[in-house]
Amino acid sequence: MLLVIREDYDAISKLASSRISDLLKKNPYAILGLATGSTPLGLYKELIRLHREEGLDFSRVQTFNLDEYVNVPREHDQSYYYFMQENLFKHINIPPDAIHMPNGMAADIEEECELYEEQIIKAGGIDLQILGIGCNGHIAFNEPYSSLGSRTRIKTLTEKTRNDNARFFKNMDEVPKYAITMGVGTIMDAKSIILMASGEKKADAIRNTVEGPITARLPATIVQMHRNATILIDKAAASQLDQSLKIAE
């Protein structure tokens, strides 16, 4: 696991976007794993800029998103589908059928989860997975105590996560209780991972992820075991790391 600390949010967004653009230049058919949340927004803005100004080509790429709310229609402005359309997909040249997101409105959720796993395998596996991190150490919607070997499935969201998300909905009743999420095992199968975090409110989760013991209580800690994972954070998110281990700049 590689730890990369940069000055601020802009710097981590730019670095993540250059990792993606390098990958696409080497392999135009790359399979990208994408995340929602505020953290990757700067990265997506930069990818849009690279597409518009430097011709970064997404025409042969396929994407798989980490998760989606259950019972929130795709047209709802808080669905993750809507989020991805607004913040990335409609601004780049990716064909609609190359975009994969779990369908939270599927009649048979279990079948949908199995299908999603099959689609990832059929595509050849995820080359680069972008991850954010929840304040409680969750990745995608793998809440604390998720099995570290879990696959795509439905998860009940914790009160902490629902409260963190409440700002996007009219009232607490509207905040979804369930989501379909790639499992921790699904995420760990990606050939490479970039976990991004910015700001002091993530500092505690980052300290545990980087320095803590690996535990299902904090699913992000499993990333320590990945063969090609980068923890890409700004100085504020790094502020709780053990300073006695600081490397001279």
Token pair for residue 102?
């779990």
Whether 143 is catalytic:
yes
Q: Which residue is nearest to ligand GLP (CB)?
A: 132
Shortest distance, position 67 Cβ to ligand GLP, whole Å: 5
**Which residue, 20 or 66, has its beta carbon nearer to ligand GLP?**
66
Q: What is the distance between the alpha carbons of residues 182 and 141, in angstroms, rounded to a whole number?
A: 8
Quick one: tokens of 135?
């304040």
Give, in order, the Cα–Cα distances in Å from 249 to each of 55, 61, 113, 117, 229. 35, 37, 46, 43, 22
Options 30-38, 86-94, 203-211, 238-246: segment touching ligand GLP (CB under 6 A): 30-38
Q: How far is the CB of 64 from ligand GLP (least distance, A)?
A: 13
Identify which of residues 33 and 56 has a Cβ nearer to ligand GLP in the complex: 33
Quick one: which of 36, 136, 186, 230 contacts ligand GLP (CB under 6 A)?
A: 36
The rounded distance, in Å, linking the Cα atoms of 63 and 80 is 14
Q: Which of 120, 131, 149 is nearest to 202 (CA)?
A: 131
Q: Exposed, middle or buried by CB within 10 Å (0-12, 13-18, 19+), for 114?
A: middle
Smallest distance from the beta carbon of 225 to ligand GLP, in angstroms? 19
Q: Is 66 in the site for ligand GLP (CB under 6 A)?
A: yes
Which of 140, 190, 203, 233 binds ligand GLP (CB under 6 A)? It is: 140
- Regarding 39 and contact with ligand GLP (CB under 6 A), the answer is yes
38: contact with ligand GLP by CB under 6 A: yes
**Is 67 considered catalytic here?**
yes
Convert 140-169 to b/e letters by CB count within 10 Å (16 or more is b): bbbbbebebebbbbbbebbeebeebbeeeb
Q: Is 136 a catalytic residue?
A: yes
Task: Record the tokens describing residue 110, joined without a space.
Answer: 């279990």
Residues in 98-137 that interact with ligand GLP by CB under 6 A = 132-134
Instruction: Give the shortest CB-158-to-ligand GLP separation in angstroms.
Output: 10
Contact 41, 83 (CB under 8 A): no
Sequence-ordered list of residues with C-beta below 8 angstroms from that of 75, at least 6 positions apart, any chain: 82
Catalytic annotation present for 138: yes
Stretch that binds ligand GLP, among 11-19, 33-41, 113-121, 221-229 (CB under 6 A): 33-41
**Contact footprint for ligand GLP (CB under 6 A):** 35-39, 66-67, 132-134, 140-141, 161
Active site residues: 67, 136, 138, 143
